[in-house]
A and B are shown apart, each in its own frame.
Chain A
Amino acid sequence: MSAELAEPASKIELPAHIGGGGEIPTFDVHLRVRRYNPEVSEDATWDDFHVTMYGTDRVLDALHKVKWEIDGSVSFRRSCAHGVCGSDAMRINGRNRLACKTLLKDLDTSKPITVEPIKGLPVEKDLIVDMEPFFQSFREVMPFLINKGHEPTKERLQSAEDRERFDDTTKCILCAACTSSCPVFWTDGQYFGPAAIVNAHRFIFDSRDDAGDMRLEILNDKEGVWRCRTTFNCSEACPRGIQVTQAIAEVKQAILSRKI
């Protein structure tokens, strides 16, 4: 049944009267994937794949096509494949992106598209990195509500303005795109990293939380917020559009105003 027409990996069939119809344009994509398998070799290499993709496809669809039809040993993480779970952060053309949110048509398909694991974390295989150091920093900022008052019988109410204060940092999906785009983190793995600070920010500025001071004290560390050099790589990398550098600056300010 090989003569059967290939189906786009993400299939959208809209009838002509609502703007759909017609053929989805196809193009050839040259995918250059960073491969690493410690059971075979200690060295990472580049593998090239040529696939025909559709205008509606994302980098993740190209990776699927490679894995399902060309080389089943290509390894990468992905769960929801729709930009929510945050497991397929990778370095696409040198920038940290979610493979499931990066459309191929937005990239320059005349040149090879490079796909690498995110930097700064130990690579386990191909595009899979060990996220444990990342989650350890996340745990250390205590990303949960701590309230010293009596347990209310109903939900804890909060005004819209109080909620707005930390709205931006609630969007984090822990994909590690920010932390692994940070040049400070590349050389200093002990740095808490943008993601941990963003998640601390989410509770520090929550009016219902009572442990803001504890978190500020944790981030007033040698490896805490003062390590940030405001290069804005994290804000650029965040697939949720969180203003990460601004959140870090707000935590810096909060520590300063508490100490002085």
Chain B
Amino acid sequence: MTATQIQSPRSGKISPQYRRNGASKGNFEMAAWLFMRLSGVVLVVLIFGHLFVNLLVGDGIHAIDFGFVAGKWADPFWQFWDLAMLWLAMLHGTNGVRTIINDYAEKDSSRFWLKAVLYAATAVIIILGTLVIFTFNPCPLDVNGVPLPGGFCPAA
């Protein structure tokens, strides 16, 4: 009688793709989930308010030009409104794309790089947008103190 080779049982072994690497600390996913809902509600108000004021009030869409935007950003109320809209929309969208990447990226490396590109793009747009809202000057002067041509600003 020859000894039969019996393979060790396969049951009970879980392949690495199913194994959770320890419990994650903190409440980040919960905070992200909550932020999506709250920012969504606020954005509905902000965006429809934005569309209403820009496109329907007064001359509506025909009034929009450089001067219209300059006028709005001279008012701290609209500065704050646009700032809130920028930050909430960017973070809301970034978090949405982050979850999509988490869901669909199959390799850890592609997930890492997709997220790196996403976060870099988000940072650039948020910083640039914030800078524009607060440093916007409708009547820039050239080195000699003379207003640059443009036709929106009365000569000083």
- Which of B10, B12, B20, B102 counts the most chain A CB atoms within 10 A? B20
In the complex, what residues of A have CB within 8 A of residue B12's CB?
132
Does B34 have its Cβ within 8 Å of any Cβ on chain A? yes
> What is the distance, in angstroms, from A65's C-beta to the closest C-beta of chain B?
30
Does B18 have its Cβ within 8 Å of any Cβ on chain A? yes
> What is the distance, in angstroms, from B25's C-beta to the closest C-beta of chain A?
9
**Bound-complex Cα distance A218 to B10 (A):** 28
Indicate if the CB atoms of A133 and B14 lie closer than 8 Å. Answer: yes
Known: A132-B12, A132-B13, A259-B27. A190 touches B103 (CB 8 A): no
Indicate if the CB atoms of B32 and A221 lie closer than 8 Å. Answer: no
Indicate if the CB atoms of B33 and A188 lie closer than 8 Å. Answer: no
Indicate if the CB atoms of B19 and A190 lie closer than 8 Å. Answer: yes
**Bound-complex Cα distance A118 to B28 (A):** 32
> What is the distance, in angstroms, from B46's C-beta to the closest C-beta of chain A?
24
CB-contact partner of B20 in A132, A183, A190, A256, under 8 A: A190
Does A2 have its Cβ within 8 Å of any Cβ on chain B? no
Known: A133-B14, A136-B14, A229-B103. A221 touches B30 (CB 8 A): no
> What is the distance, in angstroms, from B21's C-beta to the closest C-beta of chain A?
8
In the complex, what residues of B have CB within 8 A of residue A130's CB?
10-11
Size of A's binding interface in residues, CB under 8 A: 24
In the complex, what residues of A have CB within 8 A of residue B77's CB?
none
In the complex, what residues of A have CB within 8 A of residue B59's CB?
none
Indicate if the CB atoms of A221 and B18 lie closer than 8 Å. Answer: no
In the complex, what residues of B have CB within 8 A of residue A220's CB?
27, 29-30
Indicate if the CB atoms of B104 and A221 lie closer than 8 Å. Answer: no
Q: Quick one: which of B96-111 are within 8 Å of A by CB? A: 99, 102-104, 106
Indicate if the CB atoms of A222 and B29 lie closer than 8 Å. Answer: yes
In the complex, what residues of B have CB within 8 A of residue A190's CB?
17-21
In the complex, what residues of A have CB within 8 A of residue B102's CB?
188
**Bound-complex Cα distance A183 to B79 (A):** 42
> What is the distance, in angstroms, from A218's C-beta to the closest C-beta of chain B?
7
Task: Indicate the size class of the contact surface on chain B.
Answer: 20 to 34
Known: A132-B12, A183-B103. A189 touches B27 (CB 8 A): no
Indicate if the CB atoms of B15 and A122 lie closer than 8 Å. Answer: yes
Known: A132-B11, A187-B103, A259-B27. A226 touches B32 (CB 8 A): yes
Q: Who on chain B is nearest to A140 by CB?
A: B20
In the complex, what residues of B have CB within 8 A of residue A188's CB?
102-103
In the complex, what residues of B have CB within 8 A of residue A142's CB?
none
Known: A183-B103, A188-B103. A259 touches B18 (CB 8 A): no
**Bound-complex Cα distance A136 to B15 (A):** 12
Q: Who on chain A is nearest to B106 by CB?
A: A187
Q: Who on chain B is nearest to A133 by CB?
A: B18
Indicate if the CB atoms of B33 and A226 lie closer than 8 Å. Answer: yes
**Subset of 18 A-B contacts with CB under 8 Å:** A122-B15, A130-B10, A133-B14, A133-B15, A133-B18, A136-B14, A183-B103, A188-B102, A188-B103, A189-B17, A189-B18, A218-B23, A220-B30, A223-B20, A227-B29, A229-B103, A252-B33, A259-B27
Known: A133-B15, A190-B19, A222-B28. 11 other contacts (CB 8 A): A187-B103, A187-B104, A188-B103, A189-B17, A190-B21, A220-B29, A221-B23, A221-B24, A223-B20, A229-B99, A256-B34
Binding site for A on B (CB under 8 A): 10-15, 17-21, 23-24, 27-30, 32-34, 99, 102-104, 106
Binding site for B on A (CB under 8 A): 122, 130, 132-133, 136, 183-184, 187-190, 218, 220-224, 226-227, 229, 252, 255-256, 259
